[in-house]
Amino acid sequence: MPADLPKSRAPSIRDVARLAGVSHQTVSRVLNNHPSIRDSTKARVQQVMEDLQYRPNRAARALSRGTSRTIGVLAASSSQYGPASSIAAIQDAAREAGYYVNTANLTSVDPDTIEAALDHLMLQSVEGIVVIAPQMRVFDVLEQLSIAVPYVTLQSTGKLNEHGLSFDQISGARAATRHLIDLGHRNIYHLAGPQDWIEAEARMRGFLDEMGAMDVPTTAPILGDWTADFGYYAGRELLRVRDFTAIFSSNDQMALGLMHAIRDAGLSIPGDVSVVGFDDIPEAAHFWPPLTTVRQDFPELGRRCMALLLDDISAVSPERRGAIIPELVVRASTGPPAF
């Protein structure tokens, strides 16, 4: 065995060059698939790279090229199923495209936190940013800082449409609402997400639009915080009056809490109250009763989002942005009203 000398430094492009008997530039060309390299030369260089376990140094490359091949993800509530799935898909898509991903989590939404997170990303000279922190304020801050790199978001906002890509939350919410109306319900509550959230806003608008279009009187939506705990407490409050036969919840977790409260009150689902959720998390089919909900394909969204951003970065801009239509999944938590 050829006594593998314990070089203290990792092999560089010049080490490879020396051993292959070529110039460092030729090695660089092999690395970057330059067309005019003789096949025999290329093979020899690649052999040496293999022998030396050569790895190109990313920092050096970034420095010299002035580009980092890194994109940043700005995410809120990243431990929830939806965002987490999208993030995973984004990372996979990025890796496939030869990009690296760096994630910054937002623990709160005050401007300082947002700015700090953005700073963190900019410090790494990211070439683009994906925002999965669908709060209005985040976009205010983004606009204000006039970010120097392209960014896209998973949620569409009225004013930032040029950066947006999204599920058509509104039509998803309308489909859910329509389903309840078609079943005969006329007294329907909406349990919405937090005020500041774009998704919450869109779903609420879908609900109100459909109710309006079908001429069904509405009550003011209740603003929740996405958690099952909140759904439970909101359900308890609502049931003190019990002037409704159906509830459309802005996400599946709150719907779960709601159903818990309804059962606690001795009522049956969907006999006394129908419940519709939103997202179709993998567990929704096994809730009791199995939840009627609106399915979103988060991984697909993540992938498309990434494609969009990569286009932006390379400035091709083929107008691929647009909405994905979510699908209503009818299970056992909805039925006709009792009266």
Partner DNA sequence: CGTTCGAATGTGCACGGTCACAATTGTGGA
Partner DNA sequence: TCCACAATTGTGACCGTGCACATTCGAACG
Residue 119 touching DNA (CB under 7 A): no
By beta-carbon proximity to a copy of itself, the closer residue of 17 and 262 is 262
Instruction: Kindly report each contact of residues 40-46 with a partner whose C-beta sits within 8 Å and lies 24 or more positions away, as own/partner.
Output: 44/20, 45/16, 45/20
Q: Does 290 bind a copy of itself (CB under 8 A)?
A: yes
Nearer to DNA, 35 or 318 (CB): 35
Beta-ladder partners of 164: 153
Find out whether 82 and 132 touch, Cβ atoms under 8 Å. Answer: no
If one asks whether residue 57 binds DNA (CB under 7 A), the answer comes out as: yes
- Pairing assessment for the beta strands 293-295 and 100-106 based on DSSP bridges: unpaired
Q: Closest distance between DNA and the C-beta of residue 55, in Å?
A: 7
What is the Cα 238 distance to its own chain's centre?
32
Residues 12-31 that bind DNA (CB under 7 A): 12-14, 21-26, 28-29, 31
Of 37 and 307, CB closest to DNA: 37
Does 274 bind a copy of itself (CB under 8 A)? Our answer is: no
- Residue 226, both tokens: 């996405």
Tokens 């994906």 — which residue?
130
Q: Does 70 bind DNA (CB under 7 A)?
A: no
Question: What region does 301 belong to: left with phi over 0, alpha with psi -120 to 50, or beta?
Answer: alpha
Site for a copy of itself in 109-138 (CB under 8 A): 120, 122-125
Residue 152 bridge partners (DSSP) = 130
According to DSSP, the β-strands at 128-132 and 70-76 are parallel
Q: Which is nearer to a copy of itself, 181 or 261 (CB)?
A: 261
Cα–Cα distance, 5 to 326 (Å, whole number):
59
Q: Which is nearer to DNA, 55 or 159 (CB)?
A: 55
**Residue 231 binds to a copy of itself (criterion: CB under 8 A):** yes
**Residue 26 contact, options DNA, a copy of itself, none, Cβ 5-8 Å cut-off depending on partner type:** DNA
Scanning 43-51, 89-97, 157-165, 215-223 for contacts with a copy of itself by CB under 8 A, the matching segment is 89-97
Question: 81 or 244: whose CB is closer to a copy of itself?
Answer: 81
Q: How far is CA 168 from CA 46, 132, 243, in A?
A: 49, 16, 30
Question: Does residue number 105 form part of the binding site for a copy of itself (CB under 8 A)?
Answer: yes
Helix, strand, or coil (residue 38): coil
For a copy of itself, the closer CB: 80 or 157: 80
Give how many residues touch a copy of itself by CB under 8 A. 51
Contacts of 185 (CB under 8 A, 6+ apart): 245, 246, 274, 336, 337
Figure out which of the listed residues 65, 146, 217, 241 binds DNA, where binding follows CB under 7 A: 65
Amino acid code (one letter) for 224: G
> How far apart, in whole angstroms, are the C-alpha atoms of residue 156 and residue 305?
12
How many residues sit in the footprint of DNA (CB under 7 A)? 32
- Write out 222-268 in H/E/C secondary structure: EECCCCHHHHHHHHHHHHCCCCCCEEEECCHHHHHHHHHHHHHCCCC
Query: Which range, of 18-26, 34-42, 62-70, 197-205, touches a copy of itself by CB under 8 A?
Result: 62-70
The DSSP secondary-structure symbol of 11 reads P
Contact residues: a copy of itself, CB under 8 A: 55-60, 62-63, 68, 78-81, 84-85, 87-88, 91-92, 95, 100-105, 107, 120, 122-125, 227-229, 231-232, 253, 256-257, 259-260, 263, 282-283, 285-288, 290, 298
List residues binding DNA (CB under 7 A): 9-10, 12-14, 21-26, 28-29, 31-32, 34-38, 41-42, 54-57, 60-61, 63-66
